[in-house]
Each structure stands twice: as C-alpha cells, then as structure tokens.
Amino acid sequence: MGCSGCRVRVNFGKVLSKVSVFFTMVLIFTYFFYCLTGFCDSAPRTLYSQQALDSDYDILDDRRRVLDDLRPPPSPRLFPDAPSQRNRTASADAERVGQLPQQHLSDGAEESNGIPVSNTFGTKRFPQAIIIGVKKGGTRALLEFLRIHPDVRAVGAEPHFFDRFYDKGLEWYRNLMPRTLDGQITMEKTPSYFVTKEAPSRVCTMNCQTKLIVVVRDPVTRAVSDYTQTLSKNPGLPSFQSLALKNSSTGLIDTTWSAVRIGLYAKHLENWLQHFPLSHFLFVSGERLVSDPAGEMGRVQDFLGLKRVVSDKHFYFNQTKGFPCLKKPEGSSRPRCLGKSKGRPHPQIPSEVLQRLRDFYRPFNHRFYQMSGQDFGWD
C-alpha cells in the first residue's frame, strides 16, 4: 500500500508537470501568433511608454528645426529618394548639380550629437511658394530668414528643376521636398527660374496657384555683384567694362551678357505674366532686405498667409559684412550669418561705365515699376 501510494503521487506530479508545460506552450504560441498578425501594436501601453510616444512627435519636430537653424553651412549629401542620384558624391557647388545639402534633407536620418534621429512625420508636397529670382538679389538671405518661421519648411539647396532637371519628372521633384505637417508651407528657391523662358509654363503645369517671390535689386549693382562672384571663381575673367560694353567708343551695352540681361526685370516679368496673374507675385526689395529686414519679412509673411513671427528681435547688423545677420539662436555658440561668399568687396568699375548702365536700365526700370506697382527708387 505504501509503495502504491508513492507511485500515485509520482504519477500525479508528472501529469501536473506535463499540464503546466502544455499550457505554457499554448500561451507562448498564442503570443507569437498575435504578434505576427500585428495585434501586439493595439495592446494597451504603460503610462510611461504612451507619454513617450506622444512626446516623440514634438521632440523630433523641434529637434529637426533646431538642427536646421543651428548647423553650419551645408555639406553635400546624397538624395535619399532619387535612385538615379545614389552612389554619387555631391558637388560642393549645390547650385551646379542641383543636389541637397545634408541639413535640409527631410527623410532618412538626421543626427544630433552623433545620434541618428528618424524623421518620417508629415508628407512631401509640391511647394506652395517659390522664390524664383533674382540671382545676386538677396534670395539666400530671404530663404534663411524665412526658415526661422516654424510654419515654413524649405529645401536648402537650389533644385533647379524647372530649368535644368525638368526631364526627371514631377515625382522626382516632389521627393526633394521636406516633409511638412498640416498648416506648414513647403518652399524652394532657384533664382534662375525668373530668367528661364520655359519656367512659367512648367510651374503652372505643376500648380497655377503657386505663390511667386522675386527679390530684386538695383540692376547696375546686381550686375557688378554677379561679375564679382564669377571673378572669384575665374580670376582670369576679362574686365567688367569689356564684358558690359559691345564697343567702348560707342558705349553700346551688350545685352547678351547674362550679368546685364538678368537686370531687364520688365522683360522677364512679361513672360511670367502670361501664365500667372500679378496677384500671385511678391516683389521684395533687396536693398530694404538689408536696411530693414524685419519690415520686408513682415510683407513676405503676410503674402504667404503666415503669422508675423520673424521680427526685429531676430536680427542684428554685421558691420564687417555690411548686411543683417540672425542673432545667436538658443543653444548656439555664435550668431548665424551667411557664408564667406556673401558680402564680397566689389572691384572698382569706371564711373562712366556705371553711368552708361544706369542710362541703359532706366526705361526698363520705369516699366518694371509700372508693372509691379512698386517704385524701387533705383534712378
């Protein structure tokens, strides 16, 4: 009897052990089944993890803006969404190759203190507003000032889609845009659009409701600035007067030279007005963008339907460079100014050459004043 009782207890223990193992396996199998079918994601989270999830959106969005505002001038990087651009190194001249610098890429990973930060919030949209001109007018300054605004997201480099890369297609162009949330505006700037004959119809094909911003500057000063930039890259360039004048004795202006041709604002605007009404344009004074940046930025924000966030408190005048810079952002060790290529000293141009140019541009300037409804006071 004693031994029989022992066997019963031993058998009962084995049965209990097997039942426990069986139920454990059932639980494990059920868990993996639900995870594989996605039901785990709907399971209730702890208070801590739910709060972390809710705050990730704000943290990443704020971090993205801080990175955009505080990083030094861009270093080239590959396009994240254009397969044809992969496995190519970006040129240092982003304008020449139409590729985006690192801090303005909107997909993939951005880095903060060496730690990758995923950025997948929002949607890539076609730009609702484009800075279309003009070269050496102040477009880079305007874009950098606009990037302070929390409701503006902009491509950093010049995409050159509507003048150089149109054959790549609108989807390629859209993939270059940063991700935006509801209420935010997508923007880009490529100053050569204003002087490209095909650009107006191409932009209208994308969206005829696009808002267009043109930063203009005294065409004589603009031409000298344009020449100065080219001279810095090509020291062997002929003199300004030899390029600007067809014949020094007659004083005829050579309008085939791009530095002169760009300043014929009225002619370029006529081309754009064939596709867009004047109400879709905002003409920003490059001179006032230097002398009164907050005032001009107020007009720009109104035109874009934005709250006036960018104001006097964001600027200080840099005496060395001769133009306004952004005050030191919180967490940054220094103020933020445009690069060394901005504010170059201009070469000495004979006064009679400059006067010939002023006389040449005067009727075109007056025509532009009439068309735009603004007197920029260049004469």
Which residue(s) pair with 110 in the sheet? 117
> Is 356 labelled as part of a ligand binding site?
no
Q: Is 246 annotated as a binding residue?
A: no
Quote the CA–CA distance of 316 and 324 in Å, as a whole number: 6
Q: Is there a binding annotation on residue 261?
A: no
- The conformational region for residue 373 under phi > 0 = left, psi -120 to 50 = alpha, else beta, is left
Q: H-type helices in the chain, by residue range?
A: 2-36, 47-70, 94-97, 139-146, 170-176, 199-206, 219-233, 240-244, 258-261, 265-273, 286-291, 293-303, 351-372
Ramachandran bin of 327, using left for φ above 0, alpha for ψ from -120 to 50, beta for the remaining angles: beta
Residue 42 DSSP label: G
Q: Say whether 140 counts as a known binding-site residue.
A: yes
What residues does 117 pair with on adjacent strands? 110
**Number of Cβ atoms within 10 Å of the Cβ of 356:** 19
Residue 207: phi and psi, rounded to 5, are -170, 110
Q: Is 137 annotated as a binding residue?
A: yes
Q: Is position 343 annotated in a ligand binding site?
A: yes
Q: Residue 284: helix, strand or coil by DSSP? A: strand
Residue 225 annotated as lining a ligand binding site: yes
Residue 251's region, left for phi above 0, alpha for psi from -120 to 50, else beta, is: left
327 is catalytic: no
- Ligand-binding annotation for 362, yes or no, is no
Active-site residue among 14, 18, 135, 136?
Answer: 136
Residue 342 annotated as part of some ligand binding site: yes
CA angle 337, 162, 173 (to 5 degrees): 80
On whether 65 is known to bind a ligand per the annotation, the reply is no
Q: Is 101 annotated as a binding residue?
A: no
Residue with tokens 């963008």: 289
Is 159 annotated in a binding site? The answer is: no
Closest CA to 98 of 204, 189, 226, 231: 189
Q: Residues comprising the binding site for 3'-phosphoadenylyl sulfate?
A: 136-140, 217, 225, 342-346
Catalogue the active-site residues: 136
Residue ranges for the known binding site are 136-140, 217, 225, 342-346
